[in-house]
Amino acid sequence: MGKYLLGCAGVAVIGIVILVVVVGAMWADNYNKLVSLKQGVDAKWAEVENQYERRADLIPNLVQTVSGAANFEKSTLTDIVQARASVGQVKIDPSQAPTDPAQLQKYEQAQGALGNALSRLLVVSERYPELKANQNFIDLQAQLEGTENRITTARNYFNQAAQSYNTAVQSFPSNFVAGISGFTTRPYFQAKAGSDVPPEVHFDFNNPTNAAPAH
């Protein structure tokens, strides 16, 4: 009888050991998955920040170029300078995606206001013949058009990465690991009507009717 009990106890111990190993392996697998997905989100966020920064870096040269045009509308220049300054006041870590939806919304609104001001400035610029012949201005338009496209692409990639990460954070069994290990969901950029089409900043200088509409 004693041997039987000892045998049963041994089997139970082996079973517990196996269970601990299996649970430990599942924990490690899910933890590593969450780490990898989070790093992916942060990497895509850094690319969004890089593209927005690239646009911001182009603006001073653009403002300097258009301000050289005779009687250029000062209010338009003021709007874009103020919008760029407002973006700089929204502080978000460029290396880590935000966790606060309100913070991301504020950031998105500031960047949207800058994009709108930039679009208006370029539309107004079409009225000035000397700018149409200015090679620096033409080059800046091309750079800004490319940057707007890259911003849209970077935002889409960020949303995709955030969606994959958030799904893992909220799905069993990785949600159990996430809750204990401090992994939290990340907010998305919110799509707006027409947001899938970047602002048009290219002009057909031979046909004013094709000028880009203000956004």
What residues does each domain of the chain span? 2-210
pLDDT at 68: 85
71: region left, alpha or beta (phi > 0 left; psi from -120 to 50 alpha) = left
Indicate if the pLDDT at residue 111 is higher than 90.
yes
Higher pLDDT pick, 10 / 4: 10
At a CB cut-off of 8 Å and minimum separation 6, what does 54 contact? 147, 150
Which pLDDT score, from 0 to 100, does residue 12 have? 66
What's the chain's average pLDDT?
84
CA 119/CA 113 separation, integer angstroms:
10
pLDDT of residue 11: 64
The pLDDT assigned to 195 comes to: 42
pLDDT for 95 beyond 90: no
Predicted confidence (pLDDT) at residue 212 exceeds the cutoff of 50: no
Residue 23: per-residue pLDDT: 64
Summarised one tens digit per residue, pLDDT across range 18-47 is 766 666 778 899 999 999 999 999 999 999
pLDDT of residue 37: 96
Which segments within the chain are labelled E, that is strand?
Answer: none
Averaged over 6-24, what is the pLDDT? 66
Residue 204 and residue 106: Cα distance in Å, rounded?
34
Query: What confidence category does residue 132 fall into, taking pLDDT thresholds of 50, 70 and 90?
Result: confident
